[in-house]
Amino acid sequence: MKHIFQQGTNPAKPTFLMLHGTGGNENDLLAIAAHIDPEASVLSVRGNVSENGMPRFFKRLSEGVFDMEDLKFRTEELHEFIGQAAEEHGFDRGNVIAIGYSNGANIAANLLFTYSDALKGASLHHPMVPNRDADLPDLTDVLVFIAAGTNDPICPAEESTDLEKLLKGAGAKVELHWEDFGHQLTMPEVEAAKDWYDKL
């Protein structure tokens, strides 16, 4: 997959897996990674799907309605890619924290819904429940931050509260954070994500 890898200065720090929103690319979230922990390594990936020229991580049938077959295929593809990238760039596969926005948060959530050991943690910004039929793996010790907007027209409140419930039910430690904004990725929620990360 097309990506940027930046070697961190402290090998004990995690590798941030940065996953952009629809129409974004691997450059979009680099400043957020650097803000959250400038010593961490960064693997920032571009989604392999194009929706009228807009990169995405999986196909959708319409706004908020996912192509479940493609979501499964692309989740497996991303999972395999992280393993390959760990070998190629020499980072610790067991110490990967995803930071995803919107479509990127949705595929990160689906990595959690599919594999018990894909991610050590995840900061999910404006995610939805990726698959309501999933039987979640054991997520004990997985650390999740969810940032949601009370006026988010794409993610109604129950998308965030249901996601929190499902992840907690699988054993993950989840913090759900609300801002009175819409679907945009805001600086206050990035600061809240940094506070969450600093306490890990």
Measured from the CB atom, the residue of 12 and 65 that comes closer to ligand MLT is 65
Question: What are the helix and strand counts (H, E) for the chain?
Answer: 5, 11
At its nearest, how many Å lie between ligand MLT and the CB of residue 64?
Answer: 5
The tokens for 18 are: 């940065």
- Contacts to ligand MLT by CB under 6 A: 21-22, 60, 63-64, 102-103, 106, 154
Active site residues per annotation: 102, 152, 183
Measured from the CB atom, the residue of 60 and 194 that comes closer to ligand MLT is 60
Contact 75, 100 (CB under 8 A): no
Per DSSP, what are the bridge partners of residue 51? 54
The secondary structure of 48-81 as a DSSP string is SEEETTEEESS-EEETTEE-HHHHHHHHHHHHHH
Residue nearest to ligand MLT (CB): 103
Measured from the CB atom, the residue of 15 and 106 that comes closer to ligand MLT is 106
Measured from the CB atom, the residue of 51 and 179 that comes closer to ligand MLT is 51
Measured from the CB atom, the residue of 95 and 184 that comes closer to ligand MLT is 184
For residues 71, 20, 120 and 69, what is the CA-based torsion angle, rounded to 10 degrees?
A: 0
- How many residues in total does the chain contain? 200
Q: Which amino acid is at 1?
A: M
Contact 108, 127 (CB under 8 A): yes
Q: What are phi and psi of 149, to 5 degrees?
A: -115, 130
The neighbour count for residue 132, using CB atoms within 10 Å, is: 10
